Chains A and B, each alone.
Chain A
Amino acid sequence: DVKVTQSSRYLVKRTGEKVFLECVQDMDHENMFWYRQDPGLGLRLIYFSYDVKMKEKGDIPEGYSVSREKKERFSLILESASTNQTSMYLCASRGGGSNQPQHFGDGTRLSIL
Chain B
Amino acid sequence: GEDVEQSLFLSVREGDSSVINCTYTDSSSTYLYWYKQEPGAGLQLLTYIFSNMDMKQDQRLTVLLNKKDKHLSLRIADTQTGDSAIYFCAEVPSNDYKLSFGAGTTVTVRA
A58, A94, A104, A109: the one within 8 Å of B43 (CB):
A104
Contact partners of B98 in chain A: CB under 8 A: 33, 45, 48, 58
**Which residues of B lie under 8 Å from residue A104 when comparing CB positions?**
35, 42-45
Count of residues in B whose CB is under 8 Å from the partner chain: 25
Task: Enumerate chain B residues within 8 angstroms of A13, measured Cβ to Cβ.
Answer: none
Question: In whole angstroms, how far apart are the Cα atoms of A62 and B35 in the complex?
Answer: 27
| Chain A count of residues within 8 A CB distance of the other chain | 26
State whether A41 and B103 are in contact (beta carbons under 8 Å apart), knowing that A58-B98, A99-B50 are contacts in the complex: yes
> Chain A interface mostly helix, strand, loop or mixed?
strand
Q: What total of A-B pairs shows CB separation below 8 Å?
A: 58
Complex Cα–Cα for A42 and B98 (A): 15
Task: Evaluate contact between A103 and B45: CB separation under 8 angstroms.
Answer: yes
* A106 proximal to B (CB < 8 A): yes
A99-112 CB contact bits vs B (8 Å, 1 = yes)?
10111111101000
**Which residues between 44 and 61 of chain B lie within 8 Å of chain A, taking CB atoms?**
44-45, 48, 50
Q: Which residues of B contact A25 (CB under 8 A)?
A: none
A106 and B103 contact, CB distance less than 8 A: no
Contact B42 A41 (CB under 8 A): no
Tell me which of B33, B42, B43, B95 has the highest count of chain A C-beta atoms within 10 A of its own C-beta.
B42
Is the C-beta of B21 less than 8 angstroms from some C-beta in chain A? no
20 A-B residue pairs with CB within 8 Å: A33-B98, A40-B8, A42-B1, A42-B101, A43-B43, A43-B101, A44-B1, A45-B99, A48-B98, A50-B97, A58-B98, A90-B42, A90-B43, A94-B97, A98-B94, A98-B95, A104-B35, A105-B42, A106-B41, A109-B40
Q: Residues on A close to B: CB < 8 A?
A: 4, 6, 31, 33, 40-45, 48, 50, 58, 90, 92, 94, 98-99, 101-107, 109
